[in-house]
Structures are given as structure tokens and as C-alpha cells.
Structure 1
Amino acid sequence: MNVESFNLDHRTVSAPYVRVADRKELPHGDVITKYDVRFTQPNVAHLEMKAIHSLEHLFAEHSRNHSSSVVDFSPMGCQTGYYLILQGEPDVAAVVDLIEATLTDVLDATEVPAANEVQCGWGENHSLEAAQDAAREFLAQRAVWEQVSE
């Protein structure tokens, strides 16, 4: 199939993890790399929408304080994680450091950025507490992020 994650056997992975999901060389030679940042075990657990939405806002804002290579941080429709797209080809260890630093910032946040009807398409659908709980749980399992399957 054309979509990399559709070719991934979701029964064989062990979340949480961070893995390279795709790499694209663009027409002018620039490279972007997509990372699968999986918070919950596929087909077993999922993140609630307010947590997903708020963590998306928080990560999108705070990650750019740590890296100018961040292109996008997008939630997966299955609600089990996110795709982090970066310019270039940083190795997984560098990406893990970026994620750890950003999620640590999330724990220190006092509000969800742009959580209002002017800056967001569903401004009332946020929960700082739920996002921080998800970040805390993911950070607590930092030792296994680079281990995709058991």
C-alpha cells in the first residue's frame, strides 16, 4: 500500500515507541523525515480527544523552542499517537531528546496555547490536565521509546 503505516503490522509493535515511519526527498533535494510517536498500544488503548488536541497544540508550540527542524506534529486518526515531521534526517536518538525536552515543557505549561475560537477550529475541546497526564505517562516510559517491538 502507498501509506507506510498501512504496511505496518500493528499487532507486532509494543507502545510506547518512536520510530522512523518515512523519509522523502523533495524535488529540490531537501529531505523530510516522518517519525511515528506512538503513545498507546494499537487496538488496545487510545488517547481521549481533549488530550490529543491539547498535546498537539502544546507540542507544536514548545517543540519549536528546541528545534528549527520541526515541520509538523499531527495526531493519528486512530488516537494512539502522533506523526512528527522534521526537516532533514536526524537520528532517532536526537528525535527522542527533542520529544523528551518538549514533553518536559508540557508538564510545566500553565495553559494550552491557542486554545480559543480565534486561533483554533474547536477552541473549547482542550484539557491541559489530560495533555499533561499523557505526557507524564509517556515520559515515565522513556527507557523503551527506541524499542518498537518486544
Structure 2
Amino acid sequence: MNVESFNLDHRAVAAPYIRLASEKQLDGGSTITKWDIRFKQPNAEALEMPALHSLEHLFAELSRNHSDKVIDFGPMGCQTGFYLTLDGAPQWSEVAELVEQTLTDVMSAEAVPAANIEQCGWAASHSLVDAQREAAAFLAAREAWEQVWA
């Protein structure tokens, strides 16, 4: 199949983890990498939408304080995690450090950035408390992030 995640056996992974999902060489010679930041076990649990939405806003904003390589951070439709797209081909440890630094920032955030009707398409669907709970759980499992396969 053309979509990388459609070729992933979701029964064989063990969330939480950080996994290189794809690496693309662009015509100009630069590289873009897409990372699977999986918070929840596929087909067993999911992030609630207000937590997912708030984590998206928080991570998208705060990660750029730690790296100028962040292109995009977006939620998976299955609500089990996110895709982090980066300029370049960083090592797994660099991505893990960026995730750890950003989620640590999430834990001390006092508000969800752009969670208002002017800057967000569904401003009513946010929860800082739930986002921080999910960030704390992901951070607590730090030792497991590199172990993708069950």
C-alpha cells in the first residue's frame, strides 16, 4: 500500500514508543523524516479528543522552542498518537530528547496555545489537565520508547 502506516502490523507494536516511520530524500538533496510518536496501544485504547487536541497544540508550539527542524506535528486519525515531521535525518536519541524536552514543557504549561475561536477550528475541544496527564504517562514510560515491537 502507498501509506506507510497501512503496511504496519498494528498488532505487533507495543506502545508507548518512538519509531522512524519514513525518510524521504527530496529532489534538492535534503531529507525529511516522519516519526511515529505512539502514546496508546493500537486497537486497545485511544487518546480522548480534548487531550489529543491540546497535546497537538502544545507540542506544535513548544517543540519549536527546542528545534528549528520541526516541520509539523499532527494527530493520527486513530487517536493513538502523533506524527512528528522533521527537516533532516536526526538519530533516534535526538528525537527522543526533543520529545522529552517538549513534554516536560507541557507539564509546566499554564494554558493551551491558540485554544480560542479565533485561532482554532474547534476551540471547545481542549483540556490542559488531560493533555498533561497523557504527557506525564508518556514521560513515565521513557525507558520503553525505543522498544517498538511487542
| Number of positions where the alignment pairs a residue of Structure 1 with one of Structure 2 | 150
Deviation of 1:79 (Å): 0.2
Alpha-carbon separation, structure 1, partners of 2:27 and 2:87:
14
CA RMSD of aligned residues (A): 0.5
Q: Report what 1:123 is aligned to.
A: 123
Q: Report what 1:39 is aligned to.
A: 39
After superposition, residues 66-105 of structure 1 pair within 5 angstroms as: 66-105=66-105
Alpha-carbon separation, structure 1, partners of 2:59 and 2:113:
10
Alpha-carbon separation, structure 2, partners of 1:146 and 1:73:
19
Q: Deviations over 1:112-140 (max 9, x none)?
A: 00000001111111000010000000000
Deviation of 1:149 (Å): 1.1
Deviation of 1:30 (Å): 1.6
State percent identity of aligned pairs.
Answer: 63
Deviation of 1:21 (Å): 0.1
Q: Report what 1:17 is aligned to.
A: 17
**TM-score calculated relative to the size of structure 2:** 0.99
Deviation of 1:47 (Å): 0.2
Q: Deviations over 1:68-127 (max 9, x none)?
A: 000000000000000000000001110000000000000000000000000111111100
Alpha-carbon separation, structure 1, partners of 2:142 and 2:75:
20
Task: Please give the secondary structure, in 2, of the residue aligned with 1:64.
Answer: helix
Task: Please give the secondary structure, in 1, of the residue aligned with 2:123.
Answer: coil
Query: Tell me, which stretches of 5 or more residues in structure 2 are unaligned?
Result: none
Alpha-carbon separation, structure 1, partners of 2:15 and 2:130:
19
**TM-score calculated relative to the size of structure 1:** 0.99
- Please tell me the residue identity of whatever aligns with 2:10: H
Deviation of 1:25 (Å): 1.2
- Please tell me the residue identity of whatever aligns with 2:11: R
Q: Report what 2:106 is aligned to.
A: 106
Work out whether 1:58 is the aligned partner of 2:58.
yes
Alpha-carbon separation, structure 2, partners of 1:45 and 1:52:
13
